[in-house]
Amino acid sequence: MVPSAEPIFLESSSIIATEFKNFLIVAGEISGDHHAAPLMAAMNQQNPSLSFWGLGGDRMLAGGLDSLYHVKDLSVTGFVEVIKHLSFFKRVMRDVLEQCRQRKPTAAILLDYPGFNLRLGMKLKALGVPVYYYISPQVWAWKKGRVKTMRQFIRRIFVIFPFEEDFYIKQGIPVTFAGHPLVERTFSIPTRTEFFNRYGLDETRPLVALLPGSRRNELERHTQALLKTIQVLRQHQPGLQFVLAGLSSLANAYYEPFLALEGMVEIKDDPYPLVSHADVAVVASGTATLETAYLGTPLVVIYKISPLSYLIGKLLVDIDHLAMPNLIIGERAIPELIQHEANGAAISNEVLQLLYDKSARAKMLTKLGKLKGALGQPGCANVIAREILKDLE
């Protein structure tokens, strides 16, 4: 447990900076862990005395996070799935708030994860803890009523897409477009020959990357569709090679159906060389779709949730595209196969077109080229760190 100094309280009960600062930071998903770790590093670079505790993953732990719960236990998608875990999330909330009373954080930094973080934000306000939000919930797509809640407790929100800045300005919430973390990430990519030799792959044969998702329930729902896709593709093109992007944070049992297939290769915790050298990638909707598009690899986006969650989502979601690259580009540049459409026949048809239809492939690559310019300039973690610390001073 990280020690903390007693904060100074104003008459308004808001907590201001002390000589020794500790921050509550909450990331409930793998993508949030990836964004939070550089921010922690940037804040420590500006003030080495800072400490961080809360909810996070392996990257935040490596950066010094004192973790209450790991993201592998927190990442659940779908309305029905969340309801099944309500008692667990209530316990997490109680534990976080109890630690707040004990540690008295200088401020809190909440990343996306709206089902939990918006409730937590209101409770932190009641405790007098300043709240900064990084990575906006997709309130511009659905549940716009949440903006009223956000307006009550957010001191400043830091967004990663330019269209979000205009949205929050109109909503009266202090906002900074800091740029997207992707533009400053350094990808360690070996040459194509080095990569293929490392994993015993044949450089002369096409490679299909499989990214089935970072959450347990995503994997469970995508597995059968992807297994059927592999079967269909092998019937049409026996020479295709398949590599699975896995995560060590998930049990090996989730990947066994794939690894039981002849010739299947798995790469854990480092998808970027795979994505860079794949001829086509099949990617579960989420952060990985933007990363794949940013690296310039043609992709097919899939997504399956429980039938009830899907029906509820159709009633509530008010956007034309699900995949983030399509939202940024402003058109259906990437095929999106959702729910019943995410089946072996449909996925394999899209993959085969991107592999062997030169015109379709070139058209997608041209549209993906628009992404980089829309994501801002490098240095977003430093911008956010500087603004938070300056504001607290």
- CATH number of residue 133's parent domain: 3.40.50.2000
Q: Are residues 198 and 168 in the same domain?
A: no
120 contacts 93 by C-beta, under 8 angstroms: yes
Q: Do 345 and 249 belong to one domain?
A: yes
pTM equals 0.69
- Predicted local distance difference test score (pLDDT) of residue 253: 93
Please report whether residue 3 resides in a domain: no
| Tens of pLDDT, residues 9-65 | 333 333 333 445 899 999 988 889 999 999 999 999 999 999 999 999 999 999 999
Q: What is residue 213's predicted lDDT score, i.e. its pLDDT?
A: 92
Residues 116 and 160 in one domain: yes
The alpha-helical segments, DSSP class H, found in the chain are: 30-46, 58-62, 79-84, 86-103, 114-127, 146-153, 162-171, 192-198, 216-236, 256-259, 271-277, 287-294, 307-316, 324-329, 344-356, 358-368, 371-374, 380-392
Along the 393 residues of the chain, how does pLDDT read in single tens digits? 333 333 333 333 333 334 458 999 999 888 899 999 999 999 999 999 999 999 999 999 999 999 999 988 876 555 555 566 678 889 999 999 999 999 999 999 999 998 899 999 999 999 999 999 999 987 766 667 789 999 999 999 999 988 899 899 999 999 999 999 888 888 889 999 999 999 999 999 999 999 999 888 889 999 999 999 999 999 999 999 999 999 998 899 999 999 999 999 999 999 999 999 999 999 999 889 999 999 999 999 999 977 766 665 665 565 666 788 998 888 889 999 999 999 999 999 999 999 999 999 999 999 999 888 888 888 899 999 999 999 998
Instruction: Please tell me the predicted confidence (pLDDT) of residue 203.
Output: 96
Task: Give the span between the Cα atoms of 354 and 363, in whole angstroms.
Answer: 10
What is the pLDDT, as a whole number, of residue 56?
Answer: 94
| 275 neighbors 295 (Cβ within 8 angstroms) | yes
Check whether residue 245 and residue 160 sit in a common domain: no
Cα separation values, 315 from 143, 145, 200, 312, 326, Å: 11, 15, 47, 5, 21
Is the same domain home to 249 and 267? yes
In terms of residue numbers, what domain contains 98? 8-180+376-392
User: Which pLDDT score is estimated for 17?
Assistant: 39
Q: Which residues pair with 243 in a beta bridge?
A: 209, 265
Position 330 scores a pLDDT of 82
Q: Could you tell me if 213 and 155 lie in one domain?
A: no
Asked if residues 26 and 111 have their Cβ atoms less than 8 Å apart, the reply is: yes
- Domain assignment present for 2: no
Per-residue pLDDT at 233: 98
Domain assignment present for 335: yes
Residue 283 in any domain: the answer is yes
Q: Does residue 363 sit in the same domain as residue 385?
A: no
Regarding whether 245 and 119 lie in a shared domain, the answer is no
CA separation for the pair 309, 305 (Å, rounded): 6
Query: Residue 64: CB partners within 8 Å, gap ≥ 6?
Result: 40, 44, 51, 52
pLDDT at 309: 64
- Please state the domain count of the chain: 2
Which tens digits make up the pLDDT trace of 288-329?
999 999 999 999 999 997 776 666 566 556 566 678 899 888
Tokens matching residue 353 = 């077109």
**Residue 1 falls inside a structural domain:** no
pLDDT at 86: 78
For residues 304 and 165, membership in a common domain is answered with: no
Residues 334 and 211 grouped into a single domain = yes
